[in-house]
Each structure stands twice: as structure tokens, then as C-alpha cells.
A = this chain, B = another copy of it.
Amino acid sequence: MTIERWERTTEVPLLVAALLFLAAYAVPILQPGLGRGERWMWMLVTLATWVVFLVDYVVRLHLAPDSWAYARKNLLDVLVLLLPLLRPLKLVRTLRTFSFLHGRQRLGLEGRAMVYAGSATVLLGLTASLAVLSVERGAHGSNIATFGDAVWWACVTVTGTGYGDLFPVTARGRAIGIGLMFGGLGLLGVVTASFASWFMTRFKRGDEG
């Protein structure tokens, strides 16, 4: 079996696994009053999806003509296996595959770059909202108490606006904030540059037509 065929076959199962992983991360944070049994269930889901991603990675290494070259070219995969918080990026990747199959006609290169970097920004913001909420809620002197607060804080942070009505006060919360600021600069830089380029192209075309 070729690696291309494997990737095509596992596309939908991996999308489901990524969504389940995200759910297993989100639900216990959003519902802090969860029972012991349900907590265990979501931990099992986390573990199961992690095993699924591990198996997928090992199989792809085996199927690749040159395993070392493949591993070096796909360093993000290893990162995602080691750092669970980066897992949602798998979701973006699957989304990218989808848009590659179906969206080629509708969207130009800039449009797809905007969708890809924009989706990565949304996932980054969502993950950071959940992470900061689980860390800051209950901390002494914290002002991020609800999921709504966390989403608002993430948007204010990722765009670099920084009102200062809400901000993390714990070391881990600040680390999440630093990741979000720099990640936002990079990803929204791609979105803005693509948007400006797309805008000028459309503007020029409307000028001629």
C-alpha cells in the first residue's frame, strides 16, 4: 500500500479522532462539576485518540520509501505527538487536505492561505482560551472566570489589542499568553498579507474589466 493511499483512506477517521481529542480536552474544562466516571471516560478518549495518532504516524513511517527523510520533513507530526496542546493543528491539516480536493476551483492561492492561517488562528485561540481558563479559574487575583471571558481575552490578545481588563496572573497562564501573542503575530501576519495581496489583485482586475 502506498503512503498516498493510506493518507487518503485515514483522512476521515483522523478528522473524527482530532475532533474527539478536542472535545476530550474541552469538556472537562467547560464543565468543572463533572463526575468521576465522566472524567475517566474523557481521559480514555484522550488516550485512545493519542494511540490512533501514534499508530498513524508509525504506519506512515513504515510506508514511506525513506523513513528518515519522511520523519525529517514532517517534524510537526512529532511535535504534535509530544505536546498534546498542539494536537488541534492536525485538524487544520485535515481541513487543508479537504480544501485541496474540493476548493481548488473556487479559491485562489491567497484565499486558501487565508482559510488555512485563519483556521489555525481560530484553533490556536480556542485552545488557548480553554487552557487559560483551566489554569486561571480559581487562581488568586485572577480576572478570567468564565469561558466567555477566556474567549474575549484570547481575541484581545491574539490581535495585540490588549485592553488589560482581563489578563493572566499565574506563571502558566502568562506562558499561554506569550504563546498566543507570538503565534497571533505570525498567523495573523499571513492572513493580513494574503488579504492585502488578494484585495489588490481583485482591485486591479475590477479596474480593467
Contacts and interface: CB of A to CB of B under 8 A. Distances in A.
Interface of A: 100, 109, 112-113, 116-117, 148, 152, 155-157, 159-165, 167, 171, 174, 177-178, 181-182, 185-186, 188-196, 199-200, 203-204, 207
Contacts of A117: 199
Contact of A203 (B112, B181, B185): B112
Contact of A162 (B148, B163, B178, B192): B163
Contacts of A177: 152, 155-156
A196 B195 contact: no
Contact of A200 (B109, B161, B167, B204): B109
Contact of A189 (B156, B178, B192, B204): B192
A199 B194 CA distance: 11
A109 B207 contact: yes
A181 B155 contact: yes
24 contacts: A100-B207, A109-B200, A109-B203, A109-B207, A113-B200, A113-B203, A117-B199, A148-B174, A152-B174, A152-B177, A155-B182, A156-B177, A157-B161, A159-B181, A160-B162, A162-B163, A164-B164, A164-B165, A185-B191, A189-B192, A190-B199, A190-B200, A193-B193, A194-B196
